[in-house]
Amino acid sequence: MPIKKKELALEIENLSAGYDGELIILDIDLRVEHGEFFGLIGPNGGGKSTLLKAILGLIPPAKGTIRVYGKEPSVGRRYIGYVPQYATFDKDFPITVQNVVMMGRRRHKGIKPWYSRKDLEVVKDSLSKVGMLEYMNRHINALSGGQKQRVFIARALASQPRMLLLDEPTASVDAPIEESIYKLLSELNRDMTIVLVTHDIGIISSNVGTVACLNRHLFTNNDQTISADMLEEAYQCPVDLIAHGVPHRVLRPHR
């Protein structure tokens, strides 16, 4: 599907949200165009997961608005394929890779008690895109961490989304697998919007087109790059960043 220029995939205005009356994120303004590869970084507890839940319509805004392809989250989330931070299964539960990815077709299944031939074709296509088709009949817990993560991305793709929303997709994999997943996401970005949440400043700088930092408030740069000032404002401590193909992070002495 050709990418439409200047179409807004995500539009957030003056958003504040939280839980039980306590606001976690404050006065967030954000626009992501369709076809962008957008990265969101920030410290633990800074509100990244809260923002994702608001985008998915899982928590209501205390104030402000969210639009996903022009729709409120409760409607617009049908355009989103979501990859959560952690996905675990009972190691003894008999579920195959195909079963896991088929979960992504649940929205299309409706009230029918069975999945269709088209559903199976979409599942196979999704597994093929992430290089996991040959593992379709394997038990999910027979896979490595990186292979599982590719399966979970395939599950999100099976919903045939316009936007892929990922929460720390490389948190549990080693560096070579991490890089391969970023390469996969860059390939998927040819056909859809990617919104990625991560704590890994170094690797994101060489793979993502647009970056913002979130620590209750959203910090951005006009030139869409990671700067020391932006990081220091968001992390509330001095940060030096060096990235030449290999991620490095150096924290100067601070209190």
The structural domains of the chain, with segments of one domain joined by +, span: 32-250
Lowest average pLDDT, out of 11-15, 104-108, 118-122, goes to 104-108
String of DSSP letters for 156-197: HHTT--SEEEEESTTTTS-HHHHHHHHHHHHHHTTTSEEEEE
What's the pLDDT at 243? 40
Per-residue confidence at 177, pLDDT binned at 50, 70, 90? confident
% of the chain at pLDDT higher than 70: 78
> Residue 106: in which H helix or E strand, if any?
helix 106-109
Distances from the Cα of 127 to the Cα of 1, 77, 105, angstroms? 19, 22, 13
Distances from the Cα of 67 to the Cα of 55, 71, 165, 233, angstroms? 8, 5, 15, 27
pTM (predicted TM-score)? 0.82
What's the pLDDT at 112? 67
Q: How far is the C-alpha of 219 from the C-alpha of 29, rounded, in Å?
A: 10
CATH number, span 32-250: 3.40.50.300
Interior angle at CA 238, CA 235 and CA 241, nearest 5: 90
Average pLDDT, the chain: 83
Above 50 in pLDDT, residue 237?
no
One-letter amino acid at 145 equals G
Q: What is the pLDDT of residues 118-134, one digit of tens each?
A: 999 999 999 999 999 99
